[in-house]
Amino acid sequence: MRIAALYDIHGNPVALDAVLAEVAREAPDLIVVGGDVVAGPMPVETLDRLEALGDRVQFIRGNTEREVDAAHRGALDPNRPWAKRMRWVAEQLSPERRRGLMEWPLTREYRVDGLGAVLFCHATPRSDEEILTRVSADARFEDALRGISAPVVIGGHTHVQYDRRVSGRRMVNAGSVGMPYEDSPGARWAMLGPEVRLMRTPYDLERAGERIRSTGYPDAAEFVREYLIEPFGAQRASEFFESLALRAG
């Protein structure tokens, strides 16, 4: 089996469409969508694209799916980052779709050609928001992956691609389709089998920006500037997230 791993789409169907066109050329057996799908400016369109592919797409849940549900129930801390955006996203989704997000599993495991057992999670196998970055100490990877039998783990969450090998295990961050923190624009994803390939797909940023700014999404212009046009560099983003992780203990 060969699998395309698409993570952190964040309601950006323009980026998603470009990636899906490239995925079609790769012709994988399955697409695993690794969470943080709808938390962005075009949640309904994004889900429509993916659900139209039927059983070829399998989902796992990310932290923002959980937060969208909490926002709908009035249980999300209003001081939490993105709280206003989460409430807006929750309002765009039907009750059936909100319930469907919470039914997605936290992990999935498949056997991939050339790689063996591969465990897919959003952040780490034990948490949908634990931070591991390309600059994290080996000891943090060892702790997060303790007890996991699969030799390869695929995650996302921090929006920076990496491929780390620690103590006989391999942790790969597939990157972000919709809002990558990289050194150049373009959607990021991963193609698995028989090797791991970290992919970059260019797309029409101007068109995406126009559509996002027309949605009514909170702080849409800021979203376009910071996540599409002038993305955070990979090193800067990794160091920032690493500092958050270390402060949290």
Domains of the chain: residue spans and CATH: 3-248 (3.60.21.10)
User: What local confidence, expressed as pLDDT, does residue 38 receive?
Assistant: 97
Per-residue pLDDT of the chain (249 residues; tens, 9 = 90+): 999 999 999 999 999 999 999 999 999 999 999 999 999 999 999 999 999 999 999 999 999 999 999 999 999 888 887 899 999 999 999 999 999 999 999 999 999 999 999 999 999 999 999 999 999 999 999 999 999 999 999 999 999 999 999 999 999 999 999 999 999 999 999 999 999 999 999 999 999 999 999 999 999 999 999 899 888 899 998 999 999 888 886
CA 183/CA 181 separation, integer angstroms: 7
Q: Quote the pTM value.
A: 0.96
Any idea which residue has 């160091």 for tokens?
239
Q: Which residues have a Cβ under 8 Å from the Cβ of 95 and sit 6 or more positions away? A: none
CA 86/CA 239 separation, integer angstroms: 25
β-sheet bridge partners, residue 32:
5, 58
Can you list the pairs that 232-235 forms with residues at least 24 positions away whose Cβ atoms lie under 8 Å?
Answer: 232/181, 233/181, 233/182, 233/183, 234/134, 234/160, 234/161, 234/181, 234/182, 234/183, 235/135
User: What local confidence, expressed as pLDDT, does residue 230 receive?
Assistant: 87
128 contacts 61 by C-beta, under 8 angstroms:
yes
State the pairing for strand pair 169-173/162-166.
antiparallel
